[in-house]
Structure 1
Amino acid sequence: MTSRKLGTLTIGQAPRADITPILDQHLPASLPRVHLGVLDGMTHADIEAQFTPQPGNGTLISKLLDGTAVVLDKLAVRAVLQSKIDALVDQGCDVVLILCTGEFHGLVGRTAWLVEPDQIVPPAAAAIAGDRQVGILVPLVGQIESEYQKWQGLRKRPICATASPYADPNDTRELEAAARQLRDQGAELLIMDCMGFVERHREVAKAASGLPVILSNALIARLTAELL
C-alpha cells in the first residue's frame, strides 16, 4: 500500500485544536501529517496590517493559537493560499486539505491531491437534501449573500442565519436562536457552513431546532479518510 502524508491548511494559525480532533476520529493514527496556517507566526498587528477586510471584498473568520477569532479579507487570504499549498507539497504531502469552507478559485495541488471543502460540501449536501428546505448557519452576516451563489445547486433557495463558532462556549444563546430561526422559517435540514463549527455546536443546534444537522468538517474528514 502506498504511504500517504497529509497536509492541512487553515486560514488562521495551525494547528487548529478545535478541528484536528475531528480529523483524528477518522484518520489512521499512524498517518504522517503537517499543519500550516495562513497566519502562522504573525502578530495581531501583522494580521491587521495585511488582512483587515477592505470595502467590497468578501470576509472570512478564523482562529489564532491564543484562541482569538479574527475576521479577514478574503482576497488577501486567497493571495497567500497557493504559496502555503506549495510549501506543504514541498514537505512531501500528497494530500492537502483546506480547513475552510470558503470558495477559492484557481488553487492547484501540483503533485498533491487537493481537497477543497467548498467543492465537496455543497453538492454532497444538495444530494442529501433533495427537495427539502435547507437552512445554513454561517459565522458572519456579510457571508450570507455569497451563500446563495455557493449553494445554487440546491433545489430550493436556502435560508441563512448567523452564529459564530468562536463565541464563548458557555453561552450558546446565539446559536440556539439561529437554529430555531431557521426551523421557524421552514428549514428541514441545517448545514453548519464553517470549519470552526464542531460537534458541540452540532448538538446545540440539533437540540434547539429538532432538525438533522450536517457538520461540514465531519463530512470532509470522512471523505478525506477515504483517500488515506
Structure 2
Amino acid sequence: MRLGTVTIGQSPRSDIIPELLAAVGREVEVIECGALDDLDRREIDELAPVQGDYPLVSRLRDGSEVRLAERHIIERLKNCIRKLERQAIDLVILLCTGEFPHLTASCPVLKPDRLLVHVISGITESGTLGVIVPMPQQQEVMKPKWQRTGLDVVSAAASPYSSSEAELAEAARRLKASGATLVVLDCLGFGSQHARIVRRESGLPVLVPRTLLGRIAAELMQ
C-alpha cells in the first residue's frame, strides 16, 4: 500500500511520520510532498499572513517554524495532490488541521479538521472543548470550526515548534481553569510528547491529530 502525505510546509516531516506510521501499525510505503518544497526562504517569507488573512503555522525542512497565509497555500496543496496521484497513491493524509474543503483526489483524502470535529461530536454532547493552537492570532479564526462540535469552546496558544514546555504547560492549565473538559491539539506538529504535558498539567483527556489519523488510515489500508 502507498500512503501520500501533504504538508503545508516542507517535506520530509521527520517530526510527524514516525509517530503516524506507528499508529498505522503496518508496513506501508510513504511518499511525502510539501507545499513549500521548491521554495527558498525569501520566497517563503513572501507567503506570510497579513491583517485579514487566515493564518497557518507549519515547519520547514530545517526544523524552523513558518507562518503562512492560507490563500497562498491552497493551489500548492492541489499541486502536491496531483503529484501524488501520478504515483498511484492509495490514500492521502493532509498534515494540517486547517480547513481545506475543496481539496480532492482520485483516492480518499483524510482531512484532520473534519475527522476531529466528528470524533469529538461522537465522544460527548456536552461540556467545554479546550483547543490549543500554535499562535494567538488563530484563536478567534479557528473557533467557528470547533463550535460545530456543539460544545462550548475555550482556547489557548502554544506552538509545537517554538514554545517551551513551560509555555505549553501554562496553556494547559489555562484551559483547565477556563472549564475545559476535553482538549484537542489543533496542529499536526503536536505529538505524544506534547499530549503528555497537557494531560499532566490539566488532568484532562487529550486528542492528538496525528495518532488519530494513523489509526483511521490503518482501517482504510487493510
**Which TM-score tier does this pair reach, normalised by the shorter chain?**
over 0.9
- Match in the other structure for 1:189: 182
Q: How far off its partner does 1:151 sit?
A: 1.3
Shift of 1:28: 5.0
Q: Is the 8 A contact 1:138 1:163 kept in 2?
A: yes
2:170 is aligned to 177
Structure 2 CA distance, aligned partners of 1:22 and 1:128?
A: 23
Using the size of structure 2 for normalisation, the TM-score is 0.95
Say if 2:26 and 2:218, in contact at 8 Å, map to a contact too: no
Q: CA deviation at 1:142?
A: 1.6
Q: Name the structure 1 match of 2:161.
A: 166
Which of 166, 182, 200 is matched with 1:207 structurally?
Answer: 200
Corresponding position of 1:45: 42
Equivalent in 136, 156, 166 of residue 151 of structure 2: 156
1:110-165 per-position Cα deviation (integer Å, ceiling 9, x unaligned) = x2111111111111112213212111110111211222211122232210110000
Contact residue 189 and residue 213 of structure 1 kept, 8 A: yes
**Residue matched to 1:116:** 111
**Cα RMSD (Å) of the superposition?**
1.3
Cα deviation for residue 27 of structure 1 reads 2.6
Instruction: Determine helix, strand or coil for the equivalent of 1:61.
Output: strand
Which stretches in structure 2 are left out of the alignment for 5+ residues? none
Distance 1:149 1:222 in 2: 26
What's the counterpart of residue 63 of structure 2? 67
Q: Distance in 1 between matches of 2:25 and 2:205?
A: 28
> Is residue 93 from structure 1 mapped to residue 89 from structure 2 by the alignment?
yes
Change (3 A) 1:29 1:223: closer
- SS across alignment from 1:21: helix
Q: Report percent identity of matched pairs.
A: 36
Aligned letter for 1:183? K
Which of 210, 213, 217 matches 1:224?
A: 217
In the alignment, the residues of structure 2 paired with residue 28 and residue 216 of structure 1 have an alpha-carbon distance, to the nearest angstrom, of: 16
Q: Which residue of 2 aligns with 1:77?
A: 73
After TM superposition, the structure 1 stretch with the greater mean CA deviation from structure 2, 95-104 or 32-41, is 32-41
Tell me, in whole angstroms, the C-alpha distance in 1 between the residues paired with 2:61 and 2:8.
12
1:148·1:157 contact (CA, 8 Å) conserved in 2?
no
Q: Does structure 2 conserve the Cα–Cα contact (< 8 Å) formed by 1:98 and 1:115?
A: yes
Give the aligned residue type for 1:98.
Answer: L
Q: Is the 8 A contact 2:127 2:152 kept in 1?
A: no
Instruction: Report the secondary structure of 1:35's partner residue.
Output: strand
| Structure 1 runs, 4 residues or longer, greater than 3 Å off | none
**Structure 1 residue matching 2:147: 3-state secondary structure:** coil
- Give the structure 2 partner of residue 198 of structure 1: 191
Partner-residue secondary structure (3-state), 2:210: helix
Cα offset for 1:206?
A: 0.7
Secondary structure at the counterpart of residue 65 of structure 1: coil
Aligned residue identity for 1:184? A
